[in-house]
Amino acid sequence: MRPPRPATARRRKGMSLEQVAQRARMAPQYLAYLETHTADPGFGSLVRLADAVGTTHVELQGGGADRPPGQGVALRNPVLRDLDEEECRALLSTHGVGRPGLNTPDGPAVFPSRWCRSV
C-alpha cells in the first residue's frame, strides 16, 4: 500500500510533520491523522495543507494521477493531420499518449489511453 498523499508531498519537500502543521495552521496530531487514515478534511484545511507543501489541493487529492506524462495542455486551435507510421512512432516515443483516435468505416473512434500499449 502506498503512503497517503499528504505524507508523500511532505516527505518530497523534506519537511517535518511539525513544520508542515505549523505552515498549514493545523495541529500536528490532526496532520498525523490525515497522513495515516483515509480522511476527508474540510476544503480550507486541504488548501492550507497544499499551500504548505507547495502543491495544489487537486494534486494533493490525487487529481491527474492517471494522466500520461507531458504538458497535458490542449492546443488552442488544434489541427488534425495524417501521420505515417515512422512519424507516429517517433512522436509517441517522446511522451505519453493522450487519447488516440482513428477513422473506421463507422466514423471516428477515440480510445482511452489505457488501451494503448507502448510502441
Task: Name the nearest CA neighbour of 115 among 91, 92, 98, 94.
Answer: 98
Work out the average pLDDT over 15-43. 90
> What stretches of the chain show up as alpha helix (H) in DSSP?
5-12, 17-23, 28-36, 43-52, 57-60, 85-92
Report pLDDT digits (tens) over 92-111.
777 666 677 888 898 888 87
Residue 55 confidence (pLDDT) above 90: no
- Render the burial of 64-86: b for 16+ CB within 10 Å, e for the rest: eeeeeeeeeeeeeeeeeeeeeee
Return the percentage of the chain with pLDDT > 90, whole number.
Answer: 19
Query: Cell triple for residue 115?
Result: 488501451
Asked if residues 35 and 3 have their Cβ atoms less than 8 Å apart, the reply is: yes
pTM score, whole prediction = 0.50
Asked if residues 36 and 17 have their Cβ atoms less than 8 Å apart, the reply is: no
